[in-house]
Chains A and B, each alone.
Chain A
Amino acid sequence: MAEQRNINYSYQTNLWGNINYKQLTNFNEWFMGDYDDSYYFQDYDKVLRYYAGAGFKGIELMIFNVPTIINIFGSMKNFKEFANERGIEKISGMFSHHIGSEDKRNHKAIFQLERQAIDALADCDGVNLIIQPCGQYYGTGPLSEEGLRNAADCMNEVGRMCADKGLAASIHNEFWCAVNKYDHEKFFDMCDPRYVFYCLDTAQVSIMGVDILEFYKKYHERVQYFHVKDTTKKAATDAERFQAGAESADDGTRWFWEPGAGHVDFPELWKLLKQYGHKGWVGIESDGTPNPLATILLTKNYIDTVLDPIYH
C-alpha cells in the first residue's frame, strides 16, 4: 500500500526550454551523421518519463508552453491524459506574468492573457497559477504608490478569475522584479487574501535579501505553494538586482542551483512546514541548469535523503 504523504513534489518544466515534439520515434534520424544525444531531449514522451522515472508525480508548465501543447496535443486535456499514461499524476501549476501591471491601461491585455492561462490550466485539472506580479525592476521600478496599487488590483482581479475556475493565484516574486525588497510585503498586503496566495520561491526571495524562514513564519497561512531551488548568492545588492536583464547576467552568473548546493536553509524550512502542517504540492524549479537530467536526479536525491526524513 502506498505511503500517505502530506506533500508531493512537482517539477517545473522550464529547464527544458520549449519542448517541441509529442513523441520522437526514429533514433537514427537524429543520430546518424551527427552522432549526438539530441534524440533524447526534444519530446514530451521522454521528458515526462524522465520525471516519473526519477519519482516525481507532478509537473508545472509555463504560459508559453500552452500554444505548443495545444498545437501538438489538440488540447490541454489530451496533454494531461498523455502525462498520466507516463506516470505523471498532476499538472500542479502554470507560470504566468503581469508585465506592465503598474499601469492600468495594460490590464485589459493582461486579463486577456490570463483568461487563456486559466482556461488552459483548468482544462488539465491544474491547481496554481503562479504569477510574476510586474516586469523587471530595470526600466520600471521603483513603483509609485499608485503603480503598486494598480499591480495589486490586477493581481486581485486575476485571483478572482482563478477562483471562479477553482484555481489559486499565487504571487511569485522574482529578485529582479519591479516589486522588490522594499515593497514586496506591502504589495502582498495590498492583495486580497481571499483570492491571492503566495508561491515562495526559496532562491528568488533569498536573493532579494529576505529571510525566507521569517517570511514563512509570518505568512505561512497564505504561502500555499513553493518553488524549491537553492542559491549561492544570498542578498544580492540593489545594483545586482536592478541591472538590465539581471536574471541573464552579462557575466553568466548562475543564480539558481539544486537544493543543497547553496545557502538556503531547507532543513529549517521543512521543520516549519511540519510545524504548520503544510499539505499539498510543492514545486521544484531549476531554471539555469546547463544539464536538466543531472539536476533532476540530484534534486530527487536531496529530497529522499534530507527533506523527506524531516517532513513528507
Chain B
Amino acid sequence: MKVALSYEMINMNSSLSGNMNLTYKWYWEDIVDWTAATGFDSIALTMVPNQFNVGRGGAPRCTLAINTKYGSAQGYLAFLNDRGIKDVCAMNVSAQAMLADMFESGKRFEDLFPEFYSYAADVTDMLAALGGKTLLVSPTPGIGALKGRFGDDEAALDKFTGEAVECLGKIAEMAASKGVKACLANDFWTLARGEQADRFLAELDPALVGYAPSTAMLRIAGADPVKELERHFDRLGAVVFTDSDFVDTVDVYASPAPEYPQFGPQQRVYKDLGYGSVDLAGAYALLKSKGFDGTVILEPRYTTNAPRALLRTRTFWTKLTKEA
C-alpha cells in the first residue's frame, strides 16, 4: 500500500485571511517543503481547466500555471524531486470544475462534455509526464446545478447520465493510451454519489475504468465506506481518505452549493483526518487485510489551516498504521 498527500487540502475558494497567498508560487513551494518534512514523498493534485486567473498564478492547479511558472511538466518534476517529492501520483479532473469555468469563458452548456474531454486530455498529458498513473474523474456537475437545468425531468437527467458515462469511457480510453488509469471519483453531490457509482462502474470496462472512492463522500451520501470498499475492492485504483462529521439530513447534496451548506443543522462538511467520525481505521484495516497495493491518498479536504493539517495528517497516518 502506497500513500500520498492530496493538495485538495487547500481550498482555493477560501475567504480566510491570507487567501491571496494561494495564488503565489512561494506558498505552494512552502507546502511542498512541509510535505517532505512530514515524511510524504508523493502528492495528488486537483486540476481545473486552463483559465486566465488560475493560469497566471503560481498555484499548480492547471497545466497553464505549471507550464508558465516551471517551463514544463519536467521542470515542475525536477523542482519536486529536488525538494524530496518523487512524483505526482494522481490528478483530479471534475465536470463541475468544467461547468464553472464555462461561465467565465462564455461557453454553452451543450459544450460541456467535449470541453471536459479536452481538459481531461490536457491534464492526462501532464500527469503522465509527472510520473503519475491515476486520473481521478468526477464525471458530472453537481446535482444542484443539473436540477437548475433539467428541473425534475428524470428522463433528461437519465439521458445526461448516459452521456456522462460515455464521456468517462472516452476519457479512460484516452488515458490508457498514455499509460494512465482513469478512476471514478464519487463526490457526494454528483450523479456518481454513494451507491449511484454502481451505474458508472457497471457500464464501463473494468480494465479501463477503476474506482477511487473518497471515504467522507461515501458516508455523506449514505453509504458505509468500509462496505463499499469491500464491495468494489477489485475495481479500486486508489482510495481517498477524507474525514467528516457531516450528516446530510436536509438534502444538501442537491443544493447549488453542496460543499457549503447554507441551511440545516450543520454547515461544516469536512474535518482534518482523525478529527471527524468516518471509520478510517476500519477502512485501513480492510485494505491491509486484502493486500491493497494501490495508493491511499490522504486528503484533509478544505482545512482551515494547511500547516497544521499537514502535521495532523502525519500524526494520523503514523497512529493508524502503528495501531493496525
How near does chain B come to A267, taking the closest CB pair, in angstroms?
28
Given A18-B13, A72-B257, A245-B68: A36 and B304 interface contact (C-beta under 8 Å)? yes
Task: Indicate the size class of the contact surface on chain A.
Answer: 35 or more
- Determine if A244 and B24 form an interchain contact, defined as CB atoms under 8 angstroms apart: no
Given A113-B104, A244-B68, A252-B24: A292 and B17 interface contact (C-beta under 8 Å)? yes
A111: interface (CB < 8 Å):
yes
Given A245-B68, A248-B23: A71 and B256 interface contact (C-beta under 8 Å)? yes
Choice from A29, A38, A47, A289 contacting B20 with Cβ under 8 Å: A289
- Determine if B57 and A248 form an interchain contact, defined as CB atoms under 8 angstroms apart: yes
Report Cα–Cα, A250/B107, bound state, in Å: 31
Given A109-B107, A290-B20: A17 and B14 interface contact (C-beta under 8 Å)? yes
Closest to A290 in B: B18
Q: Is the interface of B mostly helix, strand, loop or mixed?
A: loop
- Determine if A291 and B17 form an interchain contact, defined as CB atoms under 8 angstroms apart: yes
Given A30-B304, A248-B56: A72 and B17 interface contact (C-beta under 8 Å)? no
B35-63 vs A, CB cutoff 8 Å, 1 = contact: the mask equals 00000000000000000110011100000
- Determine if A248 and B58 form an interchain contact, defined as CB atoms under 8 angstroms apart: yes
Task: Indicate the size class of the contact surface on chain B.
Answer: 35 or more
Q: What residues of chain B lie closer than 8 Å to A66, measured between beta carbons? A: 103
Report Cα–Cα, A20/B25, bound state, in Å: 24
Choice from A20, A36, A108 contacting B106 with Cβ under 8 Å: A108
- Determine if A25 and B20 form an interchain contact, defined as CB atoms under 8 angstroms apart: no
Report Cα–Cα, A34/B17, bound state, in Å: 16
How near does chain B come to A27, taking the closest CB pair, in angstroms?
11
Given A17-B15, A42-B15, A113-B106: A72 and B256 interface contact (C-beta under 8 Å)? yes
- Determine if B17 and A116 form an interchain contact, defined as CB atoms under 8 angstroms apart: no
Q: What residues of chain A lie closer than 8 Å to B13, measured between beta carbons? A: 17-18, 20
- Determine if B17 and A293 form an interchain contact, defined as CB atoms under 8 angstroms apart: yes
Report Cα–Cα, A71/B145, bound state, in Å: 9
- Determine if B20 and A250 form an interchain contact, defined as CB atoms under 8 angstroms apart: no
Report Cα–Cα, A71/B261, bound state, in Å: 11
Q: What residues of chain A lie closer than 8 Å to B17, measured between beta carbons? A: 37, 41, 290-293
Which of B167-175, B189-197, B232-240, B262-270 is near enough to bind chain A?
Answer: B262-270
Q: What residues of chain A lie closer than 8 Å to B52, measured between beta carbons? A: 97, 99, 135-136
Q: Which of B144, B260, B272, B275 has the most CB of A within 10 A?
A: B260
Choice from A19, A23, A29, A250 contacting B58 with Cβ under 8 Å: A250
Q: What residues of chain B lie closer than 8 Å to A70, measured between beta carbons? A: 256
Q: What residues of chain B lie closer than 8 Å to A288, measured between beta carbons? A: 20
* A-binding residues in B (CB < 8 A): 13-26, 52-53, 56-58, 65, 68-69, 100, 103-107, 144, 256-257, 259-260, 262, 266-268, 271-272, 275, 304-305, 308
* B-binding residues in A (CB < 8 A): 15-26, 29-30, 33-34, 36-38, 41-42, 47, 63-64, 66-68, 70-72, 97, 99, 108-113, 116, 135-136, 138, 244-245, 247-252, 287-293
